[in-house]
Structure 1
Amino acid sequence: MPPEWAPHAATWLSWPAHDELWFGHLNAVRGEFAELVRTIARFESVQLLVRDEESEHDARARLQGADVTFHRVPLDDVWVRDNGPIFVKRGEDVALTDWTFNAWGGKFEWANDDRVPQYVAGHLGTHRWALPLVLEGGGLEVNGAGVGLTTRSCFLTDTRNPGLTEEGYALLLSDMLGVNKLLWLDGGLENDHTDGHIDTITRFTDERTIVTSVEANPEDPNHAVMAKNLADLRAMTDLSGQPFRIVELPLPAQRLEGAEGRLPPTYANFYIGNGFVVVPQYGDPHDARALEVLSALFPEREVIGLSSRAIIEGGGSFHCVTQQQPTGQPWRPE
Structure 2
Amino acid sequence: MPPEWHPQDWLWIGFPHDAGEWPTAFARAQEEIAAFANAVAESGQAVRLLVRDAANDARARSLVSAAVTLERREYGDIWLRDTGPLIVSDGAGGRGARRFGFNGWGGKYRMAGDETIGAALARDAGMEPVVADWILEGGAIDTDGTGLVVTTEQCLLNPNRNPQLSRGDIEDRLNRDLGFERVLWLGDGLLNDHTDGHVDNLARFVAPGRLALPVPTGADDPNRAIYEDARDRARAFGLDIADVPSPGLISDGDFVEPASYMNFCITTHLVVVPTFGSVHDGDGVAAVAALFPDRATVGLPGGAVLSGGGGFHCASQQMPTP
TM range (shorter): over 0.9
TM alignment of 1:238-257, pairs within 5 A: 243-257=238-252
The answer (yes or no) to whether the contact 1:217–1:223 under 8 Å persists in 2 is no
2-structure distance, mates of 1:110, 1:185: 29
Q: CA deviation at 1:219?
A: 4.9
Q: Among all aligned residue pairs of Structure 1 and Structure 2, give the percentage whose two residues are the same amino acid.
A: 35
1-structure distance, mates of 2:142, 2:298: 21
**Aligned twin of 2:309:** 315
Q: Which amino acid aligns with 2:273?
A: V
Q: CA deviation at 1:17?
A: 1.1
2-structure distance, mates of 1:187, 1:145: 24
**Aligned twin of 2:179:** 178
**Aligned twin of 1:104:** 105
Q: CA deviation at 1:255?
A: 2.5
The answer (yes or no) to whether the contact 2:100–2:132 under 8 Å persists in 1 is yes
Q: Deviations over 1:9-30 (max 9, x none)?
A: 1001111011111122111111
Q: Deviations over 1:145-198 (max 9, x none)?
A: 010000000011111111212211111011111100011000111111101100
**Aligned twin of 1:231:** 232
1-structure distance, mates of 2:250, 2:65: 36
**Aligned twin of 1:299:** 293
Q: Deviations over 1:263-292 (max 9, x none)?
A: 111000000011211011111111111122
1-structure distance, mates of 2:257, 2:104: 18
CA RMSD of aligned residues (A): 1.4
The answer (yes or no) to whether the contact 2:263–2:312 under 8 Å persists in 1 is yes
**Aligned twin of 1:267:** 261
The answer (yes or no) to whether the contact 1:92–1:327 under 8 Å persists in 2 is no
Specify whether residues 87 and 20 from structure 1 end up closer, same or farther in structure 2 by C-alpha distance, changes over 3 A only: same
1-structure distance, mates of 2:300, 2:124: 30
Q: Deviations over 1:274-315 (max 9, x none)?
A: 121101111111111112211211111101111112111112
Matched, 1:50 2:51: yes
2-structure distance, mates of 1:132, 1:211: 31
2-structure distance, mates of 1:217, 1:291: 18
Q: CA deviation at 1:67?
A: 3.3
Count of residues in Structure 1 that have an aligned counterpart in Structure 2: 320
Q: Alignment partner of 2:307: what SS?
A: helix
Bigger Cα displacement from structure 2, 51-60 vs 193-202: 51-60
Q: Which amino acid aligns with 1:62?
A: L
Matched, 1:129 2:127: no
Q: Which amino acid aligns with 1:148?
A: V
Matched, 1:85 2:79: no
Q: CA deviation at 1:56?
A: 1.1
2-structure distance, mates of 1:301, 1:151: 28
Q: Which amino acid aligns with 1:28?
A: R
Structure 1 length-normalised TM? 0.92
Q: CA deviation at 1:132?
A: 3.0
1-structure distance, mates of 2:32, 2:68: 17
Gaps of 5+ in 2: none
2-structure distance, mates of 1:303, 1:221: 27
Structure 2 length-normalised TM? 0.96
The answer (yes or no) to whether the contact 1:173–1:179 under 8 Å persists in 2 is yes
Q: Which amino acid aligns with 2:12?
A: W
TM alignment of 1:140-289, pairs within 5 A: 140-217=141-218, 219-236=220-237, 243-257=238-252, 261-289=255-283
Q: Which amino acid aligns with 1:71?
A: E
Q: CA deviation at 1:121?
A: 2.0
